[in-house]
Amino acid sequence: MDESDFWDEFDTDWVCLDSELMPWSAKAQELLRTQYAAVGTAATASLNEAIAQLEKTARRQDIAVAQSTSKGQSSKDVDIHSLLEKYATRRDLIGRYIRAYEEYCWTVESLDDLKLAPYWARIKFNPRRNFPIN
């Protein structure tokens, strides 16, 4: 803050920062393992299995529809292809979820590997000073 001339620019000697020490992997291994990673792993495994079963069903349904159509029979099958598309979308979303929390995890070998992520700052302004709003 000294290097950025913060104190003079805001004409203050007081500031409160709300921030988080990053990466999460440096301080919250248990939280990552038992909550975030557990959800990602369980969702990925179950969605992969559901999609595999839906793909098998879709192949069987395509064969059954082709056979019934050639025999002049009607088919009242569930639209497996739409259901398969919904599950594939869910699998893509869980992949995004996993990548999102992984961005906040990295190996820490020294203090230089840590980062401080500020949320907001509260500054005691000099009331006599007029600050332009940008």
Residues 97 and 34 in one domain: yes
Residues 46 and 61 in one domain: yes
Residues 10 and 59 in one domain: no
Preceding amide of 118 cis, omega within 30: no
Range of the domain at 126: 1-23+106-134
Residues 6+ apart with CB under 8 A from 90: 43, 47
Residues 3 and 68 in one domain: no
Position 134 scores a pLDDT of 45
Counting the structural domains of the chain, the total is 2
Residues 13 and 40 in one domain: no
Residues 122 and 71 in one domain: no
Per-residue pLDDT of the chain (134 residues; tens, 9 = 90+): 889 888 888 888 888 878 888 888 888 888 888 899 999 999 999 999 999 999 999 988 876 655 555 555 555 556 888 999 999 999 999 999 999 988 888 889 999 999 988 876 666 665 555 555 54
Position 18 scores a pLDDT of 85
Position 67 scores a pLDDT of 54
Residues 32 and 96 in one domain: yes
Residues 98 and 41 in one domain: yes
